[in-house]
Amino acid sequence: MRQTLFQFMLVISAAWFGYAIFDFLGIPAAALTGATSAVTVVALLGFDVRFPAKLRNATILLLGINIGTAVSPEALQAILKWPISLSIMSLCVLLGIALNVRVLKYTFGYDRETAILASAPGHLTFVLGIAQENNRDVSAIAIIQSIRVLFLTLCVPPVLTYLFGASKGTVLPEDILTLPSIILTLIAAVPVALFYGRLKFPAHWLLAGMTVSALGHGSGISPGRLPDFLSITAFLLMGALIGSRFSNTPPRKLLTYVLPGLTVTLVTVSVALIGVLFAMWAAGLPFAILVIAYSPGAIEAMAAITISLGFEPVLIAAHHVTRLALLSVAMPLLLRR
């Protein structure tokens, strides 16, 4: 118990310290990127910063609730344009996997099954479960996947902000949820999350928070957004969660997988950017939004970036959920071949 409390205090302290520095330097999405960087450093220094499962789920649920308050009628009207973009993104996911499997096999010497699992752009828990069942190199897969998530979490916000003029505003409502509304939303979201989990929905805690929050916001039962301190705390914990993936990873071992991880990330991002250009032309959607929608990072991290930079979250969330659903079907089929 004492050790668990020490771990939690260490993670929170590192996350707040990273946020303070990044915010002082004016780096976009400072709560997310600063916490990610600081906790990653602490993890690589040898400290155990693993997250309890219940805290992880609570963090993701809070993010989902925050995103749900930003759902707008304008976003829902754009649904007619999504099938084109979703189809292009799905092709990019499959093409990226195919290219990365060849790179990992013929350049870095990985076996076919490990290469497939390491190439999956997301769904890490699902992928690692398959890896353990099939006696694959779990460490290689986890670290290569984590390098991709870390790279995208740290790079997407500043690139969009500095190069493409991404908004630093907010799409969240001005009104703030009352404490009773927050409690009721949380209570209502938990059974929805468990139900989604039973149905094997990907990112079911995030989707449950979004669903209940959007319904409450749209119906007027619980209008408004989370208080700022809760939003920032959710972003901080999300960043800490990403950084905690490197817990118990010796730096020497990490170096072994840095080059394969960066190579996989470069190939995946390059294919995604080509898809973004096609989707801009075919569906007429904005470049910056498509970049986040097609970025093969963790859905929770991309959702946090979306809100932090002031973008409409519905389209972006739909793309990431589709990507995870596609991987749920594609990975077993690819391994079965």
Beta bridge partners of 176: 225
The single-letter code of the amino acid at 297 is G
Give 72-120 pLDDT, tens digit per residue: 555 555 555 678 888 999 999 999 999 999 999 999 989 888 899 889 8
Task: Note whether 102 and 307 are within 8 A (CB).
Answer: no
pLDDT of residue 270: 94
| Backbone angles phi and psi of 26, in degrees to 5 | 75, 25
Reference 47, options 243, 237, 236, 239; nearest CA is 243
User: Domain span at residue 83?
Assistant: 70-227+250-336
Rounded CA Rg of the chain: 19
Strands (E), 173-275: none
Within-domain flag for 25: no
Q: Position of tokens 């700022």? A: 228
Written as one letter, the residue type at 321 is V
10-residue block means of pLDDT along the chain (337 residues)? Answer: 70 89 82 86 82 81 77 57 86 94 92 89 75 75 85 83 60 72 88 87 79 76 77 84 79 83 93 93 84 83 77 78 82 77
Domain assignment present for 50? no
Instruction: Specify the DSSP class assigned to residue 51.
Output: P
Q: Does residue 80 fall inside a structural domain?
A: yes
Q: Per the domain annotation, does 3 fall within a domain? A: no
Write phi, then psi, for 315 (nearest 5 degrees).
-60, -40
- Residue 238 domain flag: no
Distance CA 328, CA 129 (A): 12
pLDDT at 303: 77
241 domain-assigned: no
Asked if residue 233 belongs to a domain, the reply is: no
Number of folded domains that form the chain: 1
pTM (predicted TM-score) = 0.76
**Is there a domain that residue 332 lies in?**
yes
Separation of alpha carbons 282 and 176, rounded Å: 38
Q: Give me the pLDDT at residue 271, please.
A: 95
- pLDDT given for residue 262 in this prediction: 93
